[in-house]
């Protein structure tokens, strides 16, 4: 296997959801590269129906950190609130499915991969009170809070054991279901 391909696949093997963070700030240049990766992500019809609120200082993080159920998330040095603007998204004509949340998920996934490459850990947090986050951060009514991403240097040794995954035969279908 080509060395570049090997590095790519190893990156995704290293990526884990980090729930504990070290008491260490994320360097501004790393954060800027991660934010740029959000902007480079693919989106349906290139609509980019997303907004990201970066909370990287104590005062900003304090506005929502009491909403987390896990203490480790409260200590993350960076929180990124991922938002979707459905009115700006591409809509599939046949069934009217709006792709705003899909597009946000793509962007966040790519940023989490970039964070892993930078030696950082991240966790997609969906278990939040989205209405409270929206209210506290002044998110407009026409914009949805999709998730909060905790970001920083891992504070614990990442577990080496694999979490169970479904067998490929359970999820891959050739030709038909």
Confirm if 49 and 107 have CB atoms less than 8 A apart.
no
pLDDT band with cut points at 50, 70 and 90 for residue 138: very high
Q: Note the pLDDT of residue 122.
A: 97
- Please state, in angstroms and rounded to a whole number, the distance separating the CA atoms of residues 104 and 67: 21
* Residues 72-106 pLDDT 10s: 999 999 999 999 999 999 999 999 999 999 999 99
Instruction: Tell me: pLDDT of 160 over 70.
Output: no
* pLDDT number for residue 23: 94
Mean pLDDT, the chain, integer = 94
Beta strands in 9-105 (DSSP E): 50-55, 78-84
Which superfamily, per CATH, for 3-171? NADH Oxidase (3.40.109.10)
Helix or strand run (H / E) with residue 125:
strand 121-125
For the full predicted model, state whether its pTM sits above 0.85: yes
**Per-residue pLDDT reduced to its tens digit, 97-134:** 999 999 999 999 999 999 999 999 999 999 999 999 99
Residue pair 139/53 in contact by the 8 Å Cβ criterion: yes
Model confidence pLDDT, tens digit, residues 23-37: 999 999 999 999 999
Overall average pLDDT of the 40-55 stretch: 98
């Amino acid at each position: 296997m080509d060395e570049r391909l090997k590095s790519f696949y190893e990156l995704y093997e290293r990526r884990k959801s980090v729930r504990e963070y070290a008491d260490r700030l994320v360097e501004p240049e790393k954060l800027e590269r991660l934010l740029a990766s959000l902007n480079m992500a693919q989106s349906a019809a290139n609509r980019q129906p997303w907004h990201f609120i970066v909370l990287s200082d104590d005062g900003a993080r304090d506005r929502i950190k009491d909403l987390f159920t896990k203490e480790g998330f409260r200590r993350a040095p960076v929180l990124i609130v991922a938002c979707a603007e459905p009115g700006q998204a591409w809509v599939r004509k046949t069934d009217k499915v709006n792709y705003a949340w899909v597009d946000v998920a793509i962007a966040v996934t790519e940023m989490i991969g970039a964070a892993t490459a930078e030696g950082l850990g991240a966790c997609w947090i969906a278990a939040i009170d989205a209405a409270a986050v929206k209210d506290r951060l002044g998110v407009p009514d026409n914009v949805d809070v999709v998730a909060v991403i905790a970001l920083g240097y891992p504070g614990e040794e990442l577990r080496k054991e694999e979490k169970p995954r479904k067998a490929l035969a359970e999820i891959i279908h050739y030709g038909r279901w």
